[in-house]
Amino acid sequence: MDFLSLAIPDVVLVTPRVHRDERGFFLERYRQEAFAAAGLPTTFVQDNHSRSRKGVLRGLHFQRGAFAQGKLVGVTRGEVLDVAVDLRPGSTTFGRWVSAILNDENLRMLWVPRGFAHGFVTRSEEADVVYKTDAPYVPEADAGVRWDDPTLAIDWLLEDLPQGAPRLSTRDANLPELDVVMTEAGRRHDEEGRT
C-alpha cells in the first residue's frame, strides 16, 4: 500500500496495490502492519456501508468531543468526491478542507482522522461507500456542518452533476454553519468546566 498525506497532512490517501488479470482483481484493503508503519490507527470497531444515487450529498458529519471518530473511507462501486474538513480548535489548518475522488477503479481510500467533519457527493449513477471507524457511533454526539458554508467554500464539483444536485436529507439541509457549530462547542466546553 502507498500512503500519501494530503494538503492537510493528517488526512491520508491510501492506495492499495491492485493485482488485475482477465478474471478481475485482488487487493488488500487493510493490513495492520502497513497501517502501523504509516502511523495510522490499527484498531477499528465498526464497519459502515451506504448506497447513494447520483447527486446525493451526505455530510458534513462528525461526532463531538470524546466520541470523535476516525474513518477509513473507500468505494466498492461507483464514484464519489470525498471531503474532510479540519475542525480541530487550535489547528493551523482549522476550517480548511481536502478532497479526493474515490471510485471502484482507483480503489483508493481516505483516512479522515478524529476532529474532522466528513462528507461525500456521488458522481456515478450509484455508489457504495464503505468505511471503518475507530470509535462506535453515538447518537447523542452526532453533529454536522452545513455542506455549502461560505466560509469553507468547498468545491463539490457540482457542475459535473445533474440539475438539482446536490440531493440532501432534511437533516443535512438544515445543518448549521461552522461559526454556529464552534460557538456551541465553546459554550458546551465552558458548561462542562463549571460542573
User: Residue 61 catalytic?
Assistant: yes
**How high is the pLDDT of residue 183?**
85
**Residue 126 half-sphere exposure toward CB, CA atoms < 13 A:** 5
Q: Which of 19, 131, 137, 189 is catalytic?
A: 131
**How high is the pLDDT of residue 162?**
85
User: Residue 137 catalytic?
Assistant: no
Architecture per CATH, domain 2-194, reads as Sandwich (2.60)
Which amino acid is located at 81 in the chain?
Answer: L
Residue 53's CB is within 10 A of a number of other CB atoms, namely: 12
Element (H, E) at 181: helix 178-194
CA gyration radius for the chain?
Answer: 17
Contact 147, 119 (CB under 8 A): yes
What are the domain boundaries of the chain?
Answer: 2-194
**How high is the pLDDT of residue 71?**
98
Q: Which of 19, 61, 118, 189 is catalytic?
A: 61
Q: Write down the residue that cell numbers 482477465 correspond to.
A: 22
Q: What does the pLDDT profile of the chain (195 residues) look like in tens digits?
A: 999 999 999 999 999 999 999 999 999 999 999 999 999 999 999 999 999 999 999 999 999 999 999 999 999 999 999 999 999 999 999 999 999 999 999 999 999 999 999 999 999 999 999 999 999 999 999 999 999 999 999 999 999 898 888 999 999 999 999 999 988 766 655 555 554
CA angle 49, 52, 54 (to 5 degrees): 150
Q: What is the largest CA-CA distance in the chain?
A: 64
